[in-house]
Amino acid sequence: MSFYESAVPAYLQMLGSLSHLLDKAEAHAAARKIEPAVLLGTRLFPDMLPLSKQIQIACDHAVRGAARLSGSEVPSFPDTETTIAELKQRLAKTGEFVKSVNQSLFDGAEGRDITFPIGGGKTMTLNGQQYLTSFSLPNFYFHATTAHAILRMCGVEIGKRDFLGAN
- CA-closest candidate to residue 27, choices 42, 39, 43: 39
The DSSP result for 65-99, as a single string, is HHHHHHT-----------SHHHHHHHHHHHHHHHH
* pLDDT tens-digit profile, the chain (167 residues): 888 999 999 999 999 999 999 999 999 999 999 999 999 999 999 999 999 999 999 999 999 999 999 999 999 999 999 999 999 999 999 999 999 999 999 999 999 999 999 999 999 999 999 999 999 999 999 999 999 999 999 999 999 999 998 87
Tens digits of per-residue pLDDT, 83-104? 999 999 999 999 999 999 999 9
- CA-closest candidate to residue 5, choices 93, 75, 66: 66
